[in-house]
Structure 1
Amino acid sequence: MTELITDMLSKDVAKTLRSRLSQSVQRLWLVCLCISPLAQATDIPLVLTDNSGIYQQFARLISQRTALPTETLLLNQATHEIRQRPIVVAIGTRACEELARHTQSPTRLICTFLPSQAFQHLIDHPQKADTDIERAIDAVFLDQPIQRQVALARLLVPQAKYLGTLYGESSQIYQTEIEEYAQQYGFLTLSDFLREEGNPVQTLTPLLERSQVFLALPDSTLFNRTVTKWLLYISLRNRVPLIGFSESYVDAGALIGVYSTPEQQAQQVAETLSAIRQGRSPVQAFPQYFTLKVNSNTERTLRMRLPSLDQLSQALLQEEMR
């Protein structure tokens, strides 16, 4: 461009233009140097609960799926300036709890990679009395919506009358919602409560003997090797289809599992970031995207023949669109 202007204009004019252009470039360079820290400050912090690989991987997945600039930090690196960014993403329960105490409007905090029970506890026991957390924080939960789980139970066993489940300290908050959706889908509920010191065999045996399909719920009390082992064993012994909440549960012997992969979770977080930039009010959401997996050995043991995973997925999506 400069050579073309030189050819068209006199040497003196060209010299003047080159001098002005040089000065303009210098001023532009100085401006860039001055605003560079500010530009970096607009990066969206992805604040990790700790340095474990699963949190690091999840942060990378979010960064890969959003066009917005991000930076990954540990919780102890989240300075006052970081917490005042326009948008902050907390990955994990402890990061959400800590940042919720210190983040103030107009900063938008997104809590992700945490179960809905943990977020409910944060709502029930707020650290800032003047904050309405439900109206101030976005969230993307790990656990599946109850409707999706109960609808899946009905699709698996259309003739079933009794839906069983076991509650623990943290999962008992699901009870009312499970009973409501069970009634909607034509089930009668059978349930019991297992304390941490309780006997899982004595609790599970009569419950599974009467159940025709069973929901396993995420719970810090119930999700341990002993309880999981007995739940899988007794459900198979009584030929009761067991619906798990993770891929590992299916691999261990549950008939089917409904869960969201880290990639699906990260996609929803990326879409949440875009929605916030477009002015959306805070929303706490269960996973929009999900995966189904069947244990074919358990399917044979139970002498069941399930619809294809695509058919089940489409049927669940249609239920949720009603």
Structure 2
Amino acid sequence: MITGMQGLDRITQLFIRRLLPGLLCCLLGSGVRAEPVLMVLSDFGPSYNQVHDAVLKTAQQPPTVTTLDQLTPADSHRDIILAVGSRACEQMLNRYNPDTRLICSFLPSTTFEQLKQQLLPEQAQPQVSAIYIDQPLLRQIRLARLVKPDAKTLGSALGSNSRSLRSDLESGSRDAGLKLQLAYLSPQDNPVEKLTPVIQSSDLFLVIPDSSVFNRAISKWLLYLSLRHQVPVIGFSENYTNAGAAASVHSSPSQIGQQAGEWLNRLQAGETLPPPSHPAYFDVSINPVAARTLKLQLSSGEALEQALLHIEAGH
């Protein structure tokens, strides 16, 4: 016969063995939370604010937000850091901690690669990735082919910041069945003298985002020459389209922020850091006046965007 004390002992032992661990997990789970992601903004300009807002809208666990002038030494040791813009990326690479997973976003691919080579030359496999602001060259080339399906020759120009893209430009043109006409520009060159023969011998001209080549003045000359010689220009921003490019493919700050927020969700769900990537989301804009002048049959930017998505999906 079990006495009252023996029964109480058995109940106590049962509580310790079966119930107490689960209760402790619940208590600890409610009191201990994962360290929040740190989002570092280059500044609070309109574009950065759009990235910021899209990240907060998309991320399941909103990150802590700071700017470069508010950084503390402890910030470099966060588990996950999202740097928005070139300046923020440079600062976080300068302070890089090998245990941190760092995502640089909203910056050109060439800038990211240069910063990484300069600031992490000894790191064999740093946990660093990026979401670029520029489009993959193949996407731009495919848009060029859609704009003028009967084109045979694609012209373009590279500067000091974009020379590393030559092989990708050559292979992308070849895959699209286009012969590449390429010019190299330096600050000392006369851009009109360099660009004119390329435009004259091309059916299309692709603008590569490179500030060492295409500043505002050179871009105006390029667009003038293209209209004069009836060669459509494919740009990389809506501003280029508005200025006279036949069409451009580009990603907005909000689209970059959405992708960054999705990456944060993946990391916090236990997935590995994705490799450096071009934008997953994009828009296509067209200039109807330029299209009519160049005798192009373009329906709409949305139709071209859907055609690109269809091609990229492999259909």
Say whether the fold is shared (TM-score over 0.5).
Answer: yes
Whole-angstrom distance in 1 between the partners of 2:51 and 2:302: 26
Aligned to 1:11: none
The aligned residue for residue 62 of structure 1 is 55
> Partners in 2 of 1:239 and 1:278 — Cα distance?
52
Partner of 1:310: 302
Normalised TM-score (structure 2): 0.85
Q: Using the alignment, how far apart are the partners of 1:56 and 1:314 within structure 2? A: 28
Deviates more, 1:257-266 or 1:306-315: 306-315
Q: How does 1:1-322 map to 2 (within 5 A)?
A: 42-127=35-120, 129-133=122-126, 136-282=127-273, 283-322=275-314
Counterpart of 2:130 in 1: which secondary structure? strand
CA offset at residue 255 of structure 1? 0.6
SS in 2 for 1:88: strand
User: Structure 1 pair 186/266, CA: closer, same or farther in 2 (3 Å)?
Assistant: same
CA contact (8 A) 1:101 1:128 kept: no
In structure 2, distance between residues paired with 1:131 and 1:263: 32
Q: Distance in 2 between matches of 1:257 and 1:206?
A: 23
Contact 2:283/2:302 (8 A) holds in 1: no
Partners of 1:279 and 1:314 in 2: how far apart?
Answer: 32
AA aligned opposite 1:139: A
1:56 maps to a residue whose letter is N
Deviation at 1:256, TM superposition (A): 0.5
User: Aligned partners of 1:205 and 1:148: how far apart in 2?
Assistant: 25
Distance in 1 (alpha carbons) for counterparts of 2:294 and 2:129: 41
Task: Give the Å deviation of 1:131.
Answer: 4.6
- Counterpart residue identity of residue 203, structure 2: Q
- Identity within the alignment, %: 38
The farther-off stretch of 109-118 and 167-176 is 167-176
Structure 2 CA distance for aligned equivalents of residues 112 and 166 of structure 1: 25
Q: What TM-score does the superposition give when structure 1 sets the normalisation length?
A: 0.83
Aligned CA-pair RMSD:
2.1
Structure 2 residue runs without a partner (length 5+): 1-26
Separation in structure 1 between the aligned mates of residue 299 and residue 288 of structure 2, nearest angstrom: 12
SS in 2 for 1:243: strand
Superposition deviation, residue 95 in structure 1: 1.2
Residue type of the alignment partner of 2:77: Q
Q: Report how many residues are paired.
A: 286
DSSP-derived class of the 2:119 partner:
coil
Runs of 4+ in 1 over 4 A off after TM superposition: none
Shift of 1:128: 5.3
- Matches of 2:311 and 2:137, distance apart in 1: 12
